[in-house]
Amino acid sequence: MRILLIGYGKMGHTIERLALAKGHEIVGALIVDDADKLASYTAEQVDVAIEFTSPDAAMGNILTCFEKNIPVVVGTTGWLQHLPFIQEKCEELKGSLFYASNFSVGVNLFFHFNEYVAQKMQQYPEYSVQVKEIHHVHKLDKPSGTALSIADGILKHFPQKHGWINDVSPEPELLGVVSEREGEVVGTHIVQYTSENDTFELNHIAHSREGFASGALLAAEWLPGRQGIYGMNDLLQL
């Protein structure tokens, strides 16, 4: 398979190494400042693109891939406020997009169990709930896309909550999502339920970026030939 890497940081380098080990071809590796070069690639040259850049760059890269009829796997977070527009353009241009806030198989199972627990815990108002995420100091967006996916899964089952705040919540109607940036932490996500009597937690700790990279590569192998917007639930049949 011919893969175009859009974004060539730590994640891009890891995906490249894993892709080459599986016999795939890397036809190009663009850095964030190479956005204009993306338009020079065609569907005849590229089977799928994998995009890990920045929130500001992601939108343009996705639209260019749609215009070029290149399926694109996107791991950049922080742009989902534009998702309705992207959905509209995907349908209009018959594009192919696979988006995940986190490509780790373990994290996506965490999402699944997070919703199950939230569905049960909303029946017990004596417990308060909070989300916490810890990442390396280089991460640009707060909260992380993974934390927002976790928050969405909780809010879906807590109708008494009206949204989230990126801090410890000052009122029970808002879900607190606390963000910390420390050293080179790959990614830790914690959902904490607390009452006067006890505390219990769901947590996921990433040990390396390889889990994210291998999941993104799996998505890239799965996406070509499909039209529309997909995610890890589709890939893992959750």
Q: What does 185-231 look like in DSSP terms, one character per residue?
A: --EEEEEEEE-SS-EEEEEEEE--THHHHHHHHHHHHH-TT--EEE-
pLDDT at 197: 97
Residue 53 — pLDDT band, cuts 50, 70, 90? very high
Residue 139 — pLDDT band, cuts 50, 70, 90? confident
Q: Check if 24 is active-site.
A: no
SS3 24: coil
Query: What's the pLDDT tens digit per position in 3-48?
Result: 999 999 989 999 999 999 999 999 999 998 787 899 999 999 999 9
Q: Is 163 annotated as a binding residue?
A: no
Domain ranges of the chain: 2-99+210-236, 105-206
Nearby residues of 48 by Cβ (< 8 Å), 6 or more positions away: 1, 2, 3, 4, 70, 71, 72, 73, 220, 223, 224
Identify the architecture of domain 105-206 in CATH: 2-Layer Sandwich (3.30)
Higher pLDDT, 64 or 142: 64
Higher pLDDT, 197 or 55: 197
Fold (CATH) for 2-99+210-236: Rossmann fold (3.40.50)
Q: Check if 156 is active-site.
A: no
Mean pLDDT of the chain: 94
Q: Is 21 annotated as a binding residue?
A: no
SS3 84: helix
The catalytically annotated residue of 24, 68, 132, 135 is 135
Q: Do β-strands 96-99 and 72-74 pair in parallel, antiparallel, or remain unpaired? A: parallel
Q: Is 194 annotated as a binding residue?
A: no
Residues in the chain: 238
